[in-house]
Amino acid sequence: MTEESGKNPIVVELLRRMQDTQTFLRLAAIELRRIAEQSPDIAAELQQVAQKIEFEAEDLARRDGASGSPQ
């Protein structure tokens, strides 16, 4: 990311929202795993969804890292 785009308020806001989304996805995965522990009959499905959500969070993190923004 260039110095100029780092100060662009739109870019800064988009990066903040992307980081907020990563955090939300990770927390959602944690909560799904907690529910899975309490509900063995649907645990496998919840674990799969949690894994997909974590993958999405990691994908966002990789994209954020590729843009050159600080983590």
pLDDT one-digit tens code per residue, 11-33 = 889 989 999 999 999 999 999 99
- The count of C-alpha atoms lying within 13 angstroms of the C-alpha of 44, restricted to the half-sphere facing its C-beta, is 1
Torsion over CA: 57, 5, 2, 70 (sign)? negative
What burial letters (b/e) apply to 36-66, b meaning 16+ CB within 10 Å?
A: beeeeeeeeebeebbeebbebbeeebeebee
- Is the pLDDT reported for residue 49 higher than 70? yes
CA–CA gap between residue 23 and residue 1 (Å, rounded):
22
- Is the pLDDT reported for residue 47 higher than 60? yes
Which pLDDT does position 66 carry in this prediction?
65
